[in-house]
């Protein structure tokens, strides 16, 4: 939770709310579907794989040189390039916070916050990250709630009721977009629910449960602990955290109705950094002395927790899955730790430089979605369909990246009109999906020995493994996929009901709020009953 709550998260939510209202948050609320799929289906499978990092998966699921290449390439691609982009977007938020609240230049902010985070990440490794994350999350959440409480007391607002009745805010309160306005409905709700959640690789919400979510599941005591921890994460991430940020974002619309008002209020901030997302730290300037220090400390904690996790996660890829696997297999533990520390410092420096070129949180969010578009379904199917092979993943990764480069850079350079983000996403998913499916069907699956070993180790649902089972006279593992899918559906219903219930109660719309709270409570009871029926190894 601490990792997914960074200094850029409230900035991103503020950016979304100011542009598209509360319902605009469906662009990330939709990822609950893949989160719950990870809870009930993939958490157990990851624990059974017995790997140290999720990239080790490639050499137990696929065979030969393509598998080795994929592991090494993904280590560099995700552990370095993709990871650096994520840290740059997080650092961008720190830059805006430091500029608005502390009067620091972008370079000063990154040097101070980055150096401290690198120091304890280098010294302590994953254990230090987990312990600091725990306390940083508590501080960050307390600061977020306190900031929302103070924001509604601003002289131009007065109270929560006055905020919601303000004409500039009232039109942005709906939890669902206007169904009569397709230009908003399609990109905000339809595409995220119908396409985005299963097709896009996005950190913290990876289809199939990869990345640092897999890192946490792999470090859990057993399968049941991995499931329970991931369930708690998804409940808290989607149901508990959003409203304090949303309230501050709505309050900012009253105090700073447009970007120009933000520029006027902060003339010392470089104009390129002043976008809608800066409204969140701008609202914090109204906090009273003492409180402001605690809230700023909470956001610094959020920044540090996310950066430390990404440094550790990226370093584990670079060291375990590239350096040790391909460069120096005989490296001692001391040499591996040294290599990890060097990679941490290197990633922080490069991400800090990149952060100076980004402009706003939503821009970074859309770039990340675009790069991962079309690959998500691979990460789901590779567990359940023996035909998925290393060439499938290589094709998906390369094509999605090239398509993203085309739409983000080349398309407009050639003089074409820029396409809406949701249309670029659909085209990327379609092009990438056609390419990797064709490659899958025209290439051979992994060798029989690898497939048999993987099936016996992980024991996925057998539907997509019938040929391997029959050819090798294996014991069929029927699995509990229908029960697990039921858990996913009820889990999503429960969390969304909880989220909407909180919203309606804040709006003082008590009847739907209490009905949804009741539905959520019944759903959680059903979830725990389903968990008791799931068979763990």
pLDDT band with cut points at 50, 70 and 90 for residue 464: very high
The winner for highest mean pLDDT among 116-125, 216-225, 500-509 is 500-509
**Where in the chain are the domains?**
8-446
Q: Contact, 60 vs 452, CB < 8 A? A: no
Is it the case that residue 94 has pLDDT exceeding 90? no
When comparing pLDDT for 446 and 137, which is higher?
446
Is it the case that residue 361 has pLDDT exceeding 60? no
3-class secondary structure for 210-261? CHHHHHHHHCCCCHHHHHHHHHHHHHHHHHHCHHHHHHHHHHHHHHCCCHHH
Query: What CATH class has 8-446?
Result: mainly alpha
The pLDDT value given to residue 431: 95
| Mean pLDDT taken over the chain | 88
Q: What is the pTM of this model?
A: 0.86
Q: Contact, 305 vs 5, CB < 8 A? A: yes
Quote the tokens at residue 346: 């290197």
The pLDDT value given to residue 493: 97
What would the mean pLDDT of 129-152 be, rounded to a whole number?
Answer: 82
CA angle 42, 12, 498 (to 5 degrees): 55
Residue listed under structure tokens 């090494």 = 72
Q: Contact, 401 vs 371, CB < 8 A? A: yes
Compute the radius of gyration of the chain from its Cα atoms.
Answer: 23
Please tell me whether residue 381 adopts helix, strand or coil conformation: helix
Return all residues near 529 (Cβ < 8 A) that are at least 6 apart. none
Quote the tokens at residue 34: 């893949």
pLDDT band with cut points at 50, 70 and 90 for residue 165: very high
pLDDT band with cut points at 50, 70 and 90 for residue 368: low
pLDDT in tens, 484-496: 999 999 999 999 9
When comparing pLDDT for 237 and 139, which is higher?
237
The pLDDT value given to residue 125: 67
What would the mean pLDDT of 361-384 be, rounded to a whole number?
Answer: 78
Is it the case that residue 107 has pLDDT exceeding 80? yes
Q: Distance between CA atoms of 70 and 393, rounded to whole angstroms?
A: 8
To the nearest 10°, report the CA torsion of 455, 458, 461, 467.
-10
Q: Quick one: angle between helices 291-316 and 333-355, nearest 10?
A: 130
Quote the tokens at residue 156: 């131009």
């Amino acid at each position: 939770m601490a990792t997914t709550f960074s200094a850029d998260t409230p900035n991103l939510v503020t950016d979304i709310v100011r542009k598209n209202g509360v319902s605009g948050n469906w662009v990330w609320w939709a990822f609950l579907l893949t989160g719950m799929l990870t809870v009930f289906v993939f958490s157990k499978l990851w624990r059974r794989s017995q790997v140290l990092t999720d990239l080790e998966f490639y050499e137990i699921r696929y065979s030969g040189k393509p598998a080795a290449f994929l592991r090494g390439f993904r280590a560099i691609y995700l552990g370095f390039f993709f990871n650096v982009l994520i840290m740059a977007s997080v650092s961008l938020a720190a830059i805006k916070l430091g500029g608005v609240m502390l009067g620091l230049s972008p370079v000063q902010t990154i040097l101070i916050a980055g150096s401290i985070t690198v120091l304890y990440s280098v010294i302590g490794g994953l254990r230090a990250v987990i312990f600091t994350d725990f306390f940083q999350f508590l501080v960050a959440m307390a600061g977020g709630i306190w900031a929302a409480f103070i924001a509604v007391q601003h002289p131009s607002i007065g109270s929560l009721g006055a905020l919601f009745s303000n004409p500039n805010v009232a039109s942005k309160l709906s939890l669902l977009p206007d169904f009569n306005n397709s230009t908003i409905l399609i990109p905000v709700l339809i595409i995220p629910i119908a396409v985005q959640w299963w097709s896009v690789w996005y950190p913290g919400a990876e289809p199939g449960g990869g990345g640092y979510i897999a890192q946490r599941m792999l470090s859990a005591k057993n399968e049941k602990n991995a499931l329970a921890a991931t369930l708690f994460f998804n409940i808290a991430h989607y149901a508990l955290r959003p409203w304090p940020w949303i309230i501050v974002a709505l309050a900012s619309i009253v105090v700073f109705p447009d970007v120009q008002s933000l520029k006027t209020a902060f003339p010392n901030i470089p104009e390129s950094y002043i976008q809608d997302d800066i409204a969140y730290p701008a609202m914090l300037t109204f906090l009273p002395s003492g409180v402001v220090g605690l809230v700023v400390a909470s956001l610094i904690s959020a920044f540090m927790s996310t950066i430390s996790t990404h440094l550790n996660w990226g370093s584990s890829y670079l060291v375990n899955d590239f350096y040790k696997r391909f460069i120096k297999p005989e490296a001692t533990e001391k040499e591996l730790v040294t290599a990890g520390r060097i990679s941490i410092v290197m990633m922080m420096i490069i991400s800090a430089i990149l952060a100076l070129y980004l402009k706003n949180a939503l821009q970074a969010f859309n770039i990340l979605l675009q790069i991962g578009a079309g690959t998500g379904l691979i990460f789901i199917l590779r567990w359940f369909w023996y035909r998925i092979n290393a060439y499938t993943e290589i094709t998906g990764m390369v094509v999605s990246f090239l398509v993203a480069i085309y739409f983000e850079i080349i398309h407009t350079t050639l003089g074409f009109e820029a396409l809406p983000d949701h249309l670029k996403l659909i085209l990327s998913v379609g092009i990438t999906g056609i390419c990797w499916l064709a490659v899958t069907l025209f290439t051979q699956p992994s060798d029989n020995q690898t497939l048999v070993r993987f099936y016996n180790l992980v024991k996925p649902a057998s539907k997509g493994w019938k040929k391997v089972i029959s050819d090798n006279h294996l014991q069929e593992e029927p699995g509990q996929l229908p029960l697990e899918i039921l858990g996913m559906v009820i889990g999503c219903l429960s969390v969304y009901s909880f989220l909407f219930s909180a919203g309606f109660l804040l709006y003082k719309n008590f009847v739907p709020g209490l009905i949804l709270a009741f539905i959520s409570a019944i759903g959680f009871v059903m979830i725990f009953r389903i968990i008791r029926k799931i068979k763990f190894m």
